[in-house]
Amino acid sequence: MNLNPNPDRAPRKPPTQQMSAFEAAVDYAERQDIFLYFTAFMGIFMPAAVYFLYMKVHNYYQDKWKREAEINEIEKLKKKEERRKRRNANLKTNINNNVEEIEISNNAPLTIKIFYSLENEEIEKLINDQLKNLSPYSPSCYNLSTMNIDEFLSFQGLSLFIIESNKDGTITEDTLWFFEFLQDYEERKENLKSINYAIFGISDTKYGGKIYQKSGKLLSSLMHKLSAKSISPICFGDLKVDNSINEQLEKWINKINTLCQQQLLLRKEYECFMKESKEVSKKNENDIKYDSEESLDEETDEDEEEDDSDKEYSDTESTESDSYENETKKEK
């Protein structure tokens, strides 16, 4: 048995020299290996604390990134919807920019009614001869003196006026009521926005500038004040020039015919545009549904992966606990 003191365990100072309380405590801890145990404890505790802190930070940022991804997905869907609306709006503006002043209801058939006030029977024959150019639009003629005002106001097609001015510059008695009706309509602040019209005036330049085309100009002024839609500027025919009425009337009717053809083409373009817009809207709705279903599938897949990981973790814990119990039994 070795009775010599261990130099490592011996006090650093001789017993005669008195140590302070702190030095004594440090000396005691060194001799009892307390620092060694503390170091071993910290070697076990610190990795666990660091791992716990790491998992906290990791889970926090995982949730944060998941929320940001969901927000970005919602913003993408909103941007897709906005782009679809802008595309449809651009298509509408392109169609509207090409639309002429003629605005006849798309549901109503494109038909023409001719309202005339003539004193010369030869001119009436010329008009009947020229109507064949407007045959695709089922033209019908009405004398202003006997026309039905209710049918005129409810008519959604194209109204053509052929007005002759007499040598006195006055309105004939049989058509005076129609001009008075328009003036009363204006005084009541009514409007004729649903009326689409064009005017062909007939007169003679020998009557003078004040009387020439007076009836046609007055009718054009009244229709304009009542907000009716003119598809073409007023056209004049001069009786003084030989064969002028026939030529100018033919040009005017051909112009009306081309405007009607343009209107039919615009209707077809409008129908195509409506079909395209419906197809685009359906496609975008399907895309939105598909994207939302994909996001839901991704979320369910992530949940299933988390459940699988939890199960694996619980299985490993159970196997570890079983192995630990078996070892303890063997030791006992």
List the CATH number of the domain containing 125. Answer: 3.40.50.360
Residue 259 lies inside a defined structural domain of this protein: yes
Alpha-carbon distances, residue 8 vs 24, 35, 64, 121, 313 (angstroms): 15, 14, 56, 145, 48
Residue in 155, 166, 236 with CA at minimum distance from that of residue 196: 155
Query: Both tokens of residue 289?
Result: 């549904």
Q: List phi, psi (to 5°) of 159.
A: -100, 125
Residue 130 lies inside a defined structural domain of this protein: yes
Q: Is residue 91 within 8 Å of residue 276, measured between CB atoms?
A: yes
Query: Both tokens of residue 8?
Result: 């490592």
Q: How far apart are CA 83 and CA 88, in angstroms?
A: 9
Residue in 136, 111, 216 with CA at minimum distance from that of residue 171: 216
Q: Is residue 221 within 8 Å of residue 228, measured between CB atoms?
A: no
Which amino acid, 295?
Answer: S
pLDDT at 189: 76
Report how many domains make up the chain. 1
Q: Is residue 192 within 8 Å of residue 223, measured between CB atoms?
A: yes
Residue 72 lies inside a defined structural domain of this protein: no
Q: How far apart are CA 257 and CA 277, in angstroms?
A: 30
Tens digit of each residue's pLDDT, the chain (332 residues):
444 544 555 455 555 456 677 787 777 777 777 777 788 888 888 888 888 888 888 899 888 898 899 998 898 888 888 888 887 777 666 655 554 444 444 455 678 898 988 877 777 787 788 788 888 888 888 888 888 888 888 888 889 998 888 777 677 777 888 888 888 888 887 788 888 899 998 887 777 767 777 888 888 889 988 888 888 888 888 877 777 788 888 888 888 888 888 887 877 777 777 777 777 777 766 666 655 555 555 556 555 555 555 555 455 555 555 555 555 555 54
Residue in 100, 76, 48, 19 with CA at minimum distance from that of residue 284: 76
pLDDT at 41: 82
Residue 250 lies inside a defined structural domain of this protein: yes
Neighbour count for residue 261 (Cβ, 10 Å): 13
Q: How far apart are CA 327 and CA 42, in angstroms?
A: 27
Residue 77 lies inside a defined structural domain of this protein: no
What SS3 state is found at 113? strand
Residue 88 lies inside a defined structural domain of this protein: no
pLDDT at 168: 72
pLDDT at 193: 85
pLDDT at 322: 55
Q: Where are the alpha helices (DSSP H) in the chain?
A: 21-31, 34-98, 121-130, 149-154, 173-187, 214-225, 244-331
Residue in 229, 234, 226, 228 with CA at minimum distance from that of residue 183: 226
Residue 56 lies inside a defined structural domain of this protein: no
Residue 27 lies inside a defined structural domain of this protein: no
> In terms of residue numbers, what domain contains 218?
112-270
Neighbour count for residue 250 (Cβ, 10 Å): 14
